[in-house]
């Protein structure tokens, strides 16, 4: 619960600030839930730094939550702090599709309670819930409301997903009609599909990024996870990154889960462009020596998996002197499965002996062979000890973010699709049956997800799917560093 009050949120009546988040489990009408209390949120703090830390804590809590309750003090009445907080919640939280409800606490008597709660309409977060935590009044209604909000949102999200796919279906119908194929014909043998492949042998077009690039680095924090086996140099890389740059928040006070994020601000080259903010996830896990890192492997992997889930971009760090292990493959698979962008950072390049011109190529080939899970990820060779090429990490991260959020137009994608299919049609079964590929459409980003409509998706094997992925990556610059999800759909 985000509140201008602290302590046990709904429960205790004490002011003051705890920067830790606390977790409590509850049950209401057979639904189990967990409450995260972020402690107080202060928005008029002069140093700014403190504020940033608390906000950061709140954002971590919020990112883990299905709903947020803003707890205000009904006795004190509406304060400017409430207004600031509401503004923050509207801007940062509602925007992300997380429902927010206002609870006005200390509304002891039914009548005056409703009256003082009414004032909080001004927060612009819907009808305020009058509650009295010490008397337990109104809390059931509050929880009911919260669960309703969550349910409504889930339904809406499901509908939204369906809408996207329906839309894609409709576009496909139109597209086929444009080629004189109506829905039913397309299933037949001579379905006019040949008309699509008249462009056979056409050179694969190399597209520039200029198309439809709506993505902007400015307004959002970029979440970066540094993962890899113990001793590959994660802490050294982190220190390099923070050593040479301004850290606006380094260690945020220890949290319940002992996960410490560090935020770094990279100034932009032009004063009119805001700086880029990078959040390095769970730096405690990176810096901590001893117990965690050298304890059972499980903890290391588990911690890394959690970091991956919270990241936009994962820096998968390898040790150039010791090669790729099974654990690296597990991590790489997870990065790909979770749809995260990835940059492979090969550290300790300084310690590779007898380097010659072929060493670089050989190393790239080795990493590619060993880590096919992230075959699309760029590889950079760095030395955290000397600092060599560490600065390349920034541009690689920015590039990865751009790729992760890159949307290509339907026209461009279908041009590539036609070329790919013309070059190599889907393989035929021994019976002669083969799938026909009609049309594709990018339905989402982060990671890019493309729906490919075809006659019989079950006939398209993994080999062909890999071929398509490769072909698209060759033809379009802009999707390096990110996994792309392919969804093969039959006609309905």
* Binding interface with ligand GDP (CB under 6 A): 228, 230-236, 286, 293, 347-348, 350-351, 383-385
Which own/partner pairs from 285-294 qualify as long-range (CB within 8 Å, at least 24 positions apart)? Answer: 285/259, 286/226, 286/234, 286/235, 286/238, 287/235, 287/238, 293/230, 294/230
Specify the DSSP class assigned to residue 196: G
Q: How far is the CB of 347 from ligand GDP (least distance, A)?
A: 5
- Distance, in Å, from the CA atom of 373 to the CA atom of 333, rounded to the nearest integer, reads 5
Tokens of 304: 């890394």
For ligand GDP, the closer of residues 316 and 460 by Cβ is 316
* 380 contacts 393 by C-beta, under 8 angstroms: yes
Helix H or strand E segment including 121: none
Buried b (16+ CB within 10 A) or exposed e, 334-348: bbbeebbbbbbbbbb
**145 or 228: CB nearest ligand GDP:** 228
Angle at 43 between CA 40 and CA 47, to 5 degrees: 105
Residue with tokens 């008397």: 135
Nearer to ligand GDP, 113 or 228 (CB): 228
Residue 395 CB, nearest distance to ligand GDP (Å)? 19
Please name the helix (run of DSSP H) or strand (run of DSSP E) that holds residue 152, with its range, or none: helix 139-178
Q: Are residues 254 and 234 in contact, defined by beta-carbon separation less than 8 angstroms? A: no
What's the closest the beta carbon of residue 384 comes to ligand GDP, in angstroms?
4
Beta carbon of residue 276, minimum distance to ligand GDP (angstroms, whole number) = 24
- 93, 64 in Cβ contact below 8 A? no
Distance CA 60, CA 254 (A): 13
Angstrom distance (rounded) from CA 139 to CA 133: 7
Least distance from ligand GDP to the Cβ atom of residue 311, Å: 17
Provide the minimum distance between the beta carbon of 254 and ligand GDP in the complex, in angstroms, as a whole number: 19
Q: What is the CA radius of gyration of the chain?
A: 27
Q: How many CA atoms lie within 13 A of 458 on its CB side?
A: 1
Q: Which is nearer to ligand GDP, 143 or 346 (CB)?
A: 346
Range list of H helices, 218-296: 234-243, 283-287, 291-294
Closest to ligand GDP by CB, 286 vs 367, is 286
Which residue, 291 or 430, has its beta carbon nearer to ligand GDP?
A: 291
Nearer to ligand GDP (CB atom), residue 133 or residue 241 = 241
CB-nearer residue toward ligand GDP: 326 or 462: 326
313 or 484, CB closer to ligand GDP?
313
Provide the minimum distance between the beta carbon of 229 and ligand GDP in the complex, in angstroms, as a whole number.
Answer: 7
Sign of the Cα torsion 334, 336, 339, 344 reads positive
Cα maximum dimension of the chain:
83
Other CB atoms within a 10 A radius of the CB of residue 319 amount to 19
- Write down the least CB distance from residue 420 to ligand GDP, Å: 40
Tell me which DSSP letter residue 235 carries: H
Token representation of residue 185: 């014909």
Nearer to ligand GDP, 2 or 286 (CB): 286
Which parts of 77-203 are beta strand (E)? 100-105, 129-130
Q: Rounded to the nearest whole angstrom, what is the least distance from the CB of residue 349 to ligand GDP in the complex?
A: 7
In whole angstroms, the minimum distance from the beta carbon of 360 to ligand GDP comes to 16
- What are φ and ψ of residue 346, in 5° steps? -95, 105
Closer residue to ligand GDP, CB minimum distance, 165 or 305 = 305
Q: How far is the CB of 260 from ligand GDP (least distance, A)?
A: 14
């Amino acid at each position: 619960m985000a509140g201008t009050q602290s302590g046990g949120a709904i429960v205790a009546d004490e002011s003051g600030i705890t920067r830790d988040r606390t977790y409590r489990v509850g049950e209401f009408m057979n639904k189990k839930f967990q409450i995260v209390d972020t402690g107080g949120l202060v928005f008029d703090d002069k140093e700014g730094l403190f504020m940033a830390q608390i906000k950061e804590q709140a954002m971590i809590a919020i990112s883990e939550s299905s709903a947020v309750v803003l707890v205000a003090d009904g006795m004190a009445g509406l304060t400017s702090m409430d207004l600031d907080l509401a503004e923050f919640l509207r801007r940062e939280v509602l925007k992300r599709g997380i429902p927010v409800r206002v609870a006005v606490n200390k509304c002891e008597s039914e009548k005056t309670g409703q009256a003082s709660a009414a004032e909080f309409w001004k927060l612009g977060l819907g009808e305020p819930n009058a509650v009295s935590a010490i008397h337990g009044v109104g809390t059931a209604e509050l929880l009911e409301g919260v669960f309703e909000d969550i349910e409504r949102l889930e339904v809406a999200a499901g509908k939204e997903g369906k809408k996207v796919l329906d839309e894609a279906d409709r576009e496909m119908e139109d597209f086929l009609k444009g080629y004189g194929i109506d829905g039913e014909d397309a299933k037949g043998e001579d379905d006019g599909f040949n008309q699509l492949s008249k462009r056979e042998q056409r050179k694969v077009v190399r597209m520039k990024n200029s198309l439809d690039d709506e993505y902007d680095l400015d307004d959002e924090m970029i979440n970066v996870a540094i993962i890899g086996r113990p001793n590959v140099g994660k802490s050294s890389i982190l220190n390099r990154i923070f050593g040479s740059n301004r850290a606006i928040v380094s260690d945020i006070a220890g949290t319940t889960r002992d996960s410490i994020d560090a935020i770094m601000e990279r100034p932009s080259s032009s004063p009119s462009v805001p700086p880029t903010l990078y959040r390095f996830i769970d730096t405690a896990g990176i810096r901590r020596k001893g117990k965690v890192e050298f304890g059972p492997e499980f903890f290391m992997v588990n911690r890394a998996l959690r970091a991956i889930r919270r990241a936009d971009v994962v820096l998968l760090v390898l040790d150039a002197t010791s090669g790729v292990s099974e654990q690296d493959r597990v991590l790489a698979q997870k990065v790909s499965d979770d749809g995260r962008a990835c940059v492979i950072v090969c550290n300790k390049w300084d310690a590779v002996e007898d380097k010659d011109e072929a060493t670089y190529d050989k190393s790239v080939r080795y990493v590619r062979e060993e880590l096919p899970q992230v075959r699309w990820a760029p590889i950079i060779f760095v030395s955290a000890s000397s600092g060599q090429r560490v600065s390349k990490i920034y541009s690689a991260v920015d590039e990865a973010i751009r790729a992760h959020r890159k949307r290509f137009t339907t026209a461009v994608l279908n041009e590539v699709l036609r070329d790919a299919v013309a070059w190599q049609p889907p393989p035929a079964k021994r019976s002669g049956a083969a799938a026909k590929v009609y049309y594709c459409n990018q339905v989402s980003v982060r990671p890019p997800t493309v729906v490919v409509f075809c006659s019989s998706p079950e006939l398209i094997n993994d080999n062909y799917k890999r071929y398509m992925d490769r072909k698209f990556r060759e033809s379009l610059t802009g999707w390096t560093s990110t996994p792309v999800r392919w969804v093969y759909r039959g006609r309905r």
